[in-house]
Structure 1
Amino acid sequence: MRSPLEDILIAKQITPTAMRLLVLEVLQQHAAALSLADVEQLLQPADRITVHRTLKTFTDKGLVHRIEDGSGAAKYALCEPTCTPKLHQDLHVHFFCTSCRETSCLPTVAVPTIALPGAYQVQETSLVMKGRCPRCADSD
């Protein structure tokens, strides 16, 4: 009998391996987006290249999305189930907390559509807001 994690991978046409199952489990256990270094640290000992390839596969298959939050390291968060390899449905705002340095997805806050002049063709849109998350703001 397959586990629910295996079912998730198979649904995205990803062959379940021990490392892929571990990385998926780590991503599911954390509400905030995680960097490669975060995942690697949580899975110690883990081979950095294998973790990197796993995250790339997950991104390519529409299981996770990559977030550039300005912290210097890309972060990864689980996608909505409707994402596909060609069309990520995660066009939402991300929030980077300047205190705890966590990046959170805000799926109920859509990135606004911006009309560009002339022949500009948008290939990717992201919006990262920065400030203090509710947990850090409450700690004052």
Structure 2
Amino acid sequence: MNSSHCEAILLKHGIRPTAVRILLLEVMERFEHTFSLADLETEADTLDKSSIFRSLALFAEHHLLHVVEDGSGATKYCLCHNDHACRIEELHCHFHCEVCGKTFCLDDVHVPVIHYPAGYEVREINYLVKGRCPACRSKN
């Protein structure tokens, strides 16, 4: 992915493209599944932790990232490929491997429709499945 493509994505999400944000988005695009702040620090070693953290917060606020709580104690992120705030029916499930600790996006498995009582307003659903990933299952 080139810088002009990343710049266009940032602008589409209402984010001012800076050198740091473009570089960070280029790094994020290389991850196949979810990633953490620590993963980004390793891959974007020229950026400091506070710049990465501020960019993550901005990207999440502008719906460029989904925040995934997988129970590991480290917040994970995955890129959103929409240019708007995802509706509940557009959200996908995640799988957390209890052996290797990786969290995978299950892009083709959507969050099931949940009926909730009148008066409640749902703004976020985090649907997580835990177990062993195919690579860890094949080791045993």
TM over 0.5, yes or no?
Answer: yes
Report deviation, 1:118. 5.2
The 1:35–1:118 alpha-carbon spacing in structure 2 relative to 1, beyond 3 Å, is same
**2:16 counterpart letter in structure 1:** T
Report deviation, 1:123. 2.6
- Residue 56 of structure 1 corresponds to 57
Residues 5-14 or 50-59, more deviating: 5-14
Query: Is residue 63–residue 79 contact of structure 1 (8 Å, CA) maintained in 2?
Result: yes
The 1:44–1:109 alpha-carbon spacing in structure 2 relative to 1, beyond 3 Å, is same
Query: Post-superposition, which runs of at least 4 consecutive aligned residues in structure 1 deviate over 6 A?
Result: none
Corresponding position: 1:71 with 2:54: no
**1:31 counterpart letter in structure 2:** E
- Residue 122 of structure 1 corresponds to 122
What CA distance in whole angstroms lies between the structure 2 residues aligned with 1:99 and 1:76? Answer: 20
Residues 97-106 or 64-73, more deviating: 97-106
**1:48 counterpart letter in structure 2:** K
Kindly report which structure 2 residues correspond to 1:93-132, keeping only aligned pairs within 5 A, or say none.
93-117=93-117, 119-132=119-132
- Classify the secondary structure of the residue corresponding to 2:107: strand
After TM superposition, the score normalised by the length of structure 1 is 0.87
Query: Is residue 65–residue 88 contact of structure 1 (8 Å, CA) maintained in 2?
Result: no
What CA distance in whole angstroms lies between the structure 2 residues aligned with 1:6 and 1:54? Answer: 14
Which structure 1 segments of 5+ residues have no match?
A: none
Query: Is residue 95–residue 130 contact of structure 1 (8 Å, CA) maintained in 2?
Result: yes
Corresponding position: 1:11 with 2:12: yes
Which structure 2 segments of 5+ residues have no match?
A: none
Paired-residue identity, %: 42
